[in-house]
Structure 1
């Protein structure tokens, strides 16, 4: 018996791409993001979802709520294993500024070795999200589960399943509001779909 996971990146917030939001408070979805989240919810209706878990960040909780409302499910369950990467002192800095930072350049070239200053190592991120997936797959066999998280967290899970190094993150696209499907069974795990962008 398999467990199917729908890894959903939160819908886009208004300033996506301009600064590193990380775990900053007050980063919610604007009207466009709310519409995108509603489309993701409608897309998942046909999947007969059983449970929805979400990162504690506001933008993910809003996206997850749109999914539970569309699928007529109980409110999403918050799980810290799905939280955004702790970017430490980089949190809130503009990408223009970060791109001049040697430590940021090293982080993007060597995700498997580098650590965000004052924050997390990507191996820690990968460990927490994979541990959650393994736990849910063991305890909720046969269920269809949505995990609403963040781009780098989803990439960490995907690279693990593909037996790829974390440094391969840049070869994967995980767009805002996208759906990636992961199936786990006694035989192992596989990626059934990657970065389905809901239009």
Structure 2
């Protein structure tokens, strides 16, 4: 059968784009991010989905809470499969600092060959996410789920479905509080919408 999957990127924290948040603890949404999350929740209230899953990071949990509240308080299931890439010692660094490091430049130039200081690769990310998604595709009935995660994790899913190389994943945008929708089945996957944002 098929699984309709809504891929939601978390709303913006106060300095999104200024530094690499990664898995740093206590990176939470600011005032604007909370407003973004509320608008995302209101938009998702128009969709039918049966379960809501989120990365364990506080910014994804807060975004998921806004979506859950807009649906009358539906439960949020937390899974490490949707967690941000483990950037190890890069986490917390400003991007201007990272740009001076050869291993960071290698990671961004050719992710098929690069790994983070923690050892995670983009292939690792794809494998953990699709290991999570596979049971939904195998269910006897169609399922509809919403996943709150991170930009590169969502790119990894979309890229796999579209048959893109890992080195091409930076060629499309996944904005804060955006919605990307796809349908997955035993036959493969189909992208329905990408990077829908709420005004």
TM-score of the two chains, using structure 1 as the length reference: 0.96
User: Matched residue of 2:117: which SS?
Assistant: coil
User: Matched residue of 1:133: which SS?
Assistant: helix
Q: Is the 8 A contact 2:12 2:29 kept in 1?
A: yes
Structure 1 runs not aligned, ≥5 long:
none
1:142-179 CA distances to partner (integer Å, 9 max, x unpaired)? 22110000000000001110111111111111000000
Structure 2 runs not aligned, ≥5 long:
none
- Which residue number in structure 1 is paired with residue 102 of structure 2? 102
Deviating 4+ runs (over 3 angstroms): none
Displacement of 1:31 in angstroms is 1.2
User: Matched residue of 2:52: which SS?
Assistant: strand
Displacement of 1:74 in angstroms is 2.4
- Which residue number in structure 1 is paired with residue 4 of structure 2? 4
- Which residue number in structure 2 is paired with residue 30 of structure 1? 30
Q: Is the 8 A contact 1:107 1:114 kept in 2?
A: yes
- Counting matched residue pairs gives 199
- Which residue number in structure 2 is paired with residue 65 of structure 1? 65
1:69-99 CA distances to partner (integer Å, 9 max, x unpaired)? 1012422100000000000110111001001
Q: Give the 3 Å change call, closer, same or farther, for CA 15–140 of structure 1 in structure 2.
A: farther
Displacement of 1:139 in angstroms is 3.3
Question: In the aligned structure 2, how far is the partner of 1:63 from the partner of 1:36?
Answer: 9
